[in-house]
Amino acid sequence: MGSSEGIQAAARVYRNLLKAVRKHIGKEEQKAQFSDFIKQEFRNSSSGQQSVDPSFIQQKIKLAHDYTFLLNSVHHHKDLLFSYNIAVDRSDEMKKILGKSAASVGLQLPDVYQP
């Protein structure tokens, strides 16, 4: 893998990981530590450390890719369990579906249904 290909791959993994964290963990202030840690790790790896072993960098990129895959898979699995109705409380899921349906036609749910 060439230098520019490696940088592109790292940037793609970085974007995907931040997107997964924002989507599945959240953007709230109390959960910002996850994205802050990720940003710091990528900055540390890219900030002028020319003597770092390329295999170490590849290992870090693979770890970030694997964590992205884990986040997406866990939440996909949870969604499947909800859809199969496997002994879970579906009231929150139904509120979310009702909210999306109402929003798609430009309406808002009454306060009774708001999560």
- Tens of pLDDT along the chain (115 residues) come to 556 777 788 888 888 888 888 888 877 777 778 878 888 887 776 665 555 677 887 888 898 899 999 999 999 998 888 777 766 566 777 788 888 888 889 888 777 655 5
Domain range holding 33?
1-83
96's CB contacts (< 8 A; 6+ apart) are 115
Amino acid letter, residue 106: G
Considering the domain architecture, whether residues 75 and 98 belong to the same structural domain is answered as no
pTM check: above 0.75? no
Q: How many domains is the chain built from?
A: 2
Considering the domain architecture, whether residues 47 and 70 belong to the same structural domain is answered as yes
Check: CB of residue 24 under 8 Å from CB of residue 69: no
- How far, in Å, are 12, 29, 92, 109, 113 from residue 103 at the CA level? 32, 26, 16, 8, 13
Considering the domain architecture, whether residues 47 and 62 belong to the same structural domain is answered as yes
